[in-house]
Structure 1
Amino acid sequence: MGVITGNLDLWGELLVGTLILFFAGGILALVLGTIVGAMRVSPVPIARAVGAFYVGTIRNTPLTLVFFAFSFALPPLLGLRLTDATTLTLAICALGIYTATYVAETIRSGINTVSVGQAEAARALGLTFGQVMGLVVMPQAFRSVVPPMMSVLIALLKNTTVAAGFSVANLGMARNYLSERGENQFLVILWLMVIFVVLVLLLSWLQRTLENRWRIAR
């Protein structure tokens, strides 16, 4: 326990960094992924093509390369000065934009579970495509994709450690920082495993709660 109790200041800072990356990146991924997922099933060919290009390009690019693009290629192009806040913002964007591709495909699979007849009936009542998606299709799609969506968020949580290689404070930096303080690196790695297992178990609990609640709502 001395690895934890003797370095509470550092563990707290790194845990907060991980949670910021996770929640901010997750919100960006959910919003952008939902939009792209809707584009993937849009009746407008251009929207479908743009959605397919975005998903096909970003999802097939390694996350590390996405981070390189945001950390080294984008700042000079935009004239950004790399401060701690800028680096954190760019890391959030990299995680969110990358994870949004998986969110989009998950949402698309959920949309496909909704019967075509419901959408056709809504259109027959005079609803626009946006109203059909927002009022009829999306609420049902979100309920059906809770387990795979949680898997995407768990992957996002673990992917936050990639940001450690780009000078963004998070749990992925714990081994390097604590080795400088003379702590046993093997014990540090074990504690990191324990922390991530606990965080994943919390997400799994949230998944079960949402599934039970929405199952009753049906």
Structure 2
Amino acid sequence: MMDSLNQFVFTFFNLDVARQYAESIFAGAIVTLYTGLAIVVTGTVCGVLLAVLRALRCRPLTWLIVAFADIFRALPPLVLLIVMYFGMPALNMPMSAFTVTWLSLSLVLTAYAEESVWAGINSLSKGQMEAARSTGMKWLQAMVWVVLPQAIRRAIPTLTNRIISITKNTALGSVVALNEILNNAQGASSYSGNPTPLVMAAVAYLAIFLPLVVFSRWLETRWSSC
């Protein structure tokens, strides 16, 4: 029994291997963190902007936004990432691994964020906008200060779930050699012949994304009680 336990620890929790590759895993965690933050900011802001534009109810613009949202929600992120990374050079527009990962996942998050916020806007009664306009506000002022805050509050549960799901896909960056956690861990595991770096990668992902999950749960609870 003890021999089996020692073998398990040596295989998955090898301290010598962990010390050797800790710096590489930490560097990958930094890349994952700033890539994820860039995706969240870009995707959320662009999604909200598209939802506001859709609220203008200009039919050609609405068709374009709906088509964009449907296409990028339907495309698997991995396929989108590979097509952009290997396809753009054919158009003389090569992109770095970071740019491709950031842009691909930002487009996917934008599509989901737009649908979530639009659902929030659509769920509000038309009287909200009419009441705001009756006070002398212009359409954009009423949207920004009255309608949008309520819509975002209603969109928070689905939006936070999508943000967490899509930002975890930064691990797909390993396919295009982005030096994030998984890519560095896989390289370290291959060089060392030991899976300990992959265990370290799992711990690093927990350290980054578990606080985000906890914060999103707190935010949903707080806003639902308002």
- Deviation for aligned residue 1:72: 1.9
2:10 paired residue number:
none
- The answer to whether 1:206 aligns with 2:225 is no
2:66 paired residue number:
52
Mapped partners of 1:42, 1:56: distance in 2: 19
Higher normalized contact order (CA 8 Å, seq sep 6+, divided by chain length): 2
Count of residue pairs brought into register by the alignment: 212
Mapping of residues 185-200 of structure 1, within 5 Å: 185=195, 187-200=196-209
- CA 1:146 to 1:183, structure 2 compared with 1: closer, same or farther past 3 Å? farther
Query: Matched residue of 2:192: which SS?
Result: coil
- The answer to whether 1:157 aligns with 2:171 is no
CA contact (8 A) 2:21 2:197 kept: no
State the TM-score, normalizing by the size of structure 2.
0.83
Mark the runs of 5 or more structure 1 residues left unpaired by the alignment. Answer: none
Partner amino acid for 1:136?
Answer: V
Query: Matched residue of 1:168: which SS?
Result: coil
- The answer to whether 1:167 aligns with 2:177 is yes
Mapped partners of 2:82, 2:53: distance in 1: 27
Select which of 157, 178, 184 maps to 2:188.
178
Whichever of the two has the greater Rg, that structure is 2
State the TM-score, normalizing by the size of structure 1.
0.85
- Deviation for aligned residue 1:169: 1.1
- The answer to whether 1:122 aligns with 2:132 is yes
- Deviation for aligned residue 1:81: 4.9
Mapping of residues 55-70 of structure 1, within 5 Å: 55-70=69-84
1:89 paired residue number:
99
Query: Matched residue of 1:184: which SS?
Result: coil
- Deviation for aligned residue 1:71: 0.9
Identity %: 24
2:8 paired residue number:
none
- Deviation for aligned residue 1:27: 0.9
- Deviation for aligned residue 1:183: 4.3
| C-alpha distance after superposition, 1:136-189 (max 9, x if no partner) | 11111222222222111111222111111011111221342112331422x443
Root-mean-square deviation (CA), in Å? 2.2
Mapped partners of 1:49, 1:126: distance in 2: 30
